[in-house]
Amino acid sequence: MKSSAAVRGEDVVKLSCVILTMGNRIAELDRAVESALHQIDGDVEVVIVGNGADVPEITARPLPGSAAAVKTVRLPYNVGIPEGRNRGVQECSGDVVLFLDDDGWYAGPKVAAHVRERFMHEHDLAVISFRVMEPDGGSVQRRHVPRLRAGDPERSSPVTTFLGGACAIRKSAYLQVGGLPEKFFYAHEETDLAWRLLGEGYRIEYDAEPVMYHPLVLPSRHTEFYRMNARNRVWLARRNLPWPLAVLYLFNWMALTVARERAFSGLKAWFRGFAEGLRQPAGERRPMAWRTAWRMLRLGRPPIV
């Protein structure tokens, strides 16, 4: 059963924005906070989570007459992205929560108005994934469009996953499925959440209208990326897929990784993570119904790729 907040669209009016920080991007964090506070349809509550670090002093202030506010939470150590965001959501009073990277910022002041309008009138909508653009040149990386046919980033569409640092989520739906999987620490936590939301009948959409600027950063610059990527893929399959699909999913990604990756160090780290994913507990197993897998196939991304 969906909560009353998910059914009565008129109740979904207040927005919160969660920003994680390690305390090492002071100017960038201030810019991110300012972009959230300076929304025209404002009063966005900003929750800054210091993930094992003190939250730097914020100089950004709300627009005159705005009731927007800033809260800060300090966690004693780096708990990872999923748990950090879960802690941020616990502090939010909004009906819809925006996640924003501390080195990203909203491209314009109408993001809040657009998000509020959509969630007020589309009662089965759980997540909006924003368009992410590089500030210099405005290009869009293929990995930032969460679908297989990513050639046209200006085309909005239903999707089966979303970008964790550039999105808006219905809080009641988020809590209904248990939030982000905290064991993952980093990588694929959004897909785990997305699959569970789809299983509950919600919609997820890539919306090209709201834009977040983000500098070009390649996650594969660290070998740790490969280990976490592989381990969490295994956990994702073990937690969410019927066993026949889990086997297909993992063999498919193994083949794709071997075909794509040229660096031996990257492959070595990937297979080490894959083995960890098989050995270590994955958390609660709630395999999706076959009707959910069929729905994902119709959306253009079956849960084997």
Q: pLDDT tens-digit profile of 102-154?
A: 999 999 999 999 999 999 999 999 999 999 999 987 778 888 999 999 989 99
Q: How do residues 197-247 score in pLDDT, each as one tens digit? A: 999 999 999 999 999 999 887 665 577 899 999 999 999 999 999 999 999
pLDDT, residue 12, reads 47
Instruction: Assign 3-class secondary structure to the chain.
Output: CCCHHHHCHHHCCCEEEEEEECCCCHHHHHHHHHHHHCCCCCCCEEEEEEECCCCCCCCCCCCCCCCCEEEEEEECCCCCHHHHHHHHHHCCCCCEEEEECCCCEECCCCHHHHHHHHHHHCCCEEEEEEEEECCCCCCCCHHHCCCCCCCCCCCCEECCCCCCCEEEEEHHHHHHCCCCCHHHCCCCHHHHHHHHHHHCCCEEEEEEEEEEECCCCCHHHCHHHHHHHHHHHHHHHHHHCCHHHHHHHHHHHHHHHHHHCCCHHHHHHHHHHHHHHHHCCCCCCCCCCHHHHHHHHHCCCCCCC
pLDDT over 90 percentage in the chain:
82
Tell me if the pTM is above 0.85. yes
Positive or negative CA dihedral for 128, 107, 98, 85? positive
Tell me what pLDDT residue 267 has: 94
When pLDDT is averaged across residues 57-85 and rounded to a whole number, the result is: 94
Cα–Cα distance, 270 to 49 (Å, whole number) = 30
pLDDT digits (tens, 9 = 90+) for 261-280: 888 999 999 999 999 999 99
Q: Strand pairing of 105-106 and 157-158?
A: unpaired
Matching residue, tokens 């031996």: 264
Give the position of tokens 């997540």.
127
Identity at 192, one-letter amino acid code: D
Q: Hey, what are 17's tokens?
A: 């924005």
Which of 119, 6, 106 is CA-nearest to residue 46?
A: 106
Res 281: pLDDT: 97
Q: What are the tokens at 154?
A: 């200006």
Mean pLDDT value of segment 61-67: 89
Check residue 221 and give its pLDDT: 56
Euclidean distance between the first and final Cα of the chain, in Å?
A: 29
Cβ–Cβ < 8 Å for 170, 96:
yes
Q: Please tell me the distance from the alpha carbon of residue 291 to that of residue 162, in angstroms, as a whole number.
A: 21
- Measure the CA–CA gap between 121 and 21, rounded to whole angstroms: 32
At residue 2, does pLDDT exceed 80?
no
Give the integer Cα–Cα distance in Å for 104 and 32.
Answer: 6
**Structure tokens, 155:** 């085309």
- Binned at pLDDT 50, 70 and 90, residue 5 comes out as very low
So what's the pLDDT on residue 3? 39
